[in-house]
Amino acid sequence: MTRPTVVVLALTGTGVAVARALAPNGVRVVGVDGNQLEVGHFSRWIERVPDLSHARPGPEFVAALEQFARREPVPPIIFPCSDDYLQVVVDQRDRLDKVAVLYDALRPHVAGLCLDKGAFYRKCQQAGLDMPATFFPVTWDDVAHALAEVRYPCILKPVFGHRWRGRLHGRKVMWCRRREDALATFRRLVDDPCSVVVQEVVEGPEDAITVAACHIRTDGSRGECVTARKLRQFPPDFGSGSLLRSEHLPDIASISFDFLEKLDFRGICGTEFKWDAREGRHRLLEINPRPTLWFDLCRAAGTNLMWEAYCDLARLAPATLSAPRPGVVWQYLARDVGAALEQVRRRPTALPRVLRSFMGPRVYCIESLDDLGATLASPVYSLANAFNQLRGRSR
């Protein structure tokens, strides 16, 4: 039986994690990313294909993917690894179904729902899921009402976060300490009240945040789940994990699977919760209906979630996986240095603990002796990304 090729859309650390989980098992992995400096373009595990691998999200990318898929002996499997490519896949699902294999979750009523933070949080409220108090302004009067009612500090969160990335210079949300700050932020950055939700902040340390990588098979049965705890994130407070440790968290796994089943979810995703000490319960922060940045921790902990998903979609014999080992550390070194420096700046007495967090065995997001191309490209990419963000802020 011919094994399907996998096409990974977006070659950040997330795409590299997918390739490292599959290519050593004999799967051909083709990568796509419009940023020619993205680290995955230099990974030994990812193949580049002319006319496809540098295609940016949009109509030309879809056409190139269709042409590539028709040349394959069997339909390829597609794993989007960024929201920009995910949006295109959701929008063009009918076309892609004719030439490729995708999880059922990558449709408007599931993945599209998760991309739209307004619709997603309304769904969470309907399902009775614990989440921070959230307001959905439609008019400027609604904005005034929300800012009068919400508990401070609060955040203003774009409904479609991937469309705001340039405007927010890498940040996910706008943090506001007081009502006056929120009003000023709305006036400065928000053109349409419908484009932002207002949400209270679940206060507490970063290690109160827990995450889960979940897989629900095409037949609706529960696959494996790997849970972990964030130790640091970047940007601090409201960023992506930069230092995580696997941990046995059955309550997080159970809450995640229960909600995914209410969505009739079939696929792979990452969930994120934060413990609310005031209320004594976990609050849902977000769900990503695709692999997320820290997914290589699954493989490092002994549970290759992406291989299980591949076998499911390729209709191979079910993967036999071990239970995840607790205590395995994953680090995105380039980002975690900045997160660690910020921890010390805020609390100088934390320096010894922060230094210890860089010691001991771990798996790195990019750096690997088994993947020198990506390892050597990583500092170049990080410098280029930092330069672009600084240039954006100066405009």
Q: Among candidates 42, 38, 40, which has minimal Cα distance to 382?
A: 38
Out of 3.30.465.10, 3.30.470.20, 3.40.640.10, 3.40.1260.10, the CATH code matching 206-364 is 3.30.470.20
| DSSP code at position 371 | -
| Band (271; pLDDT cuts 50, 70, 90) | very high
Locate CATH 3.30.1490 in the chain.
Answer: 133-200
Q: Is the pLDDT of residue 386 over 60?
A: no
Q: Are strands 196-200 and 154-158 parallel, antiparallel or unpaired?
A: antiparallel
Region of residue 251 (left: phi > 0; alpha: psi -120 to 50; beta: else): alpha
Amino acid at position 249, single letter: L
| Band (384; pLDDT cuts 50, 70, 90) | low
Strand partners, 16: none
Q: Among candidates 14, 18, 16, 12, which has minimal Cα distance to 34?
A: 12
| DSSP code at position 101 | B
Locate CATH 3.30.470.20 in the chain.
Answer: 206-364
- The mean pLDDT value of the chain amounts to 91
pLDDT digits (tens, 9 = 90+) for 82-111: 999 999 999 999 999 999 999 999 999 888
What is residue 169's three-state secondary structure? coil
Whether the model clears a pTM of 0.75, i.e. scores above it, the answer is yes
Q: Is the pLDDT of residue 209 over 50?
A: yes
Q: Is the pLDDT of residue 394 over 50?
A: no
CA distance 334 to 311: 33
Quick one: pLDDT at residue 393?
A: 47
CA distance 77 to 149: 46
What is residue 332's three-state secondary structure? coil
Domain at 6-114: CATH code: 3.40.50.20
pLDDT digits (tens, 9 = 90+) for 178-190: 999 999 988 888 8
CATH topology of domain 133-200: Dna Ligase; domain 1 (3.30.1490)
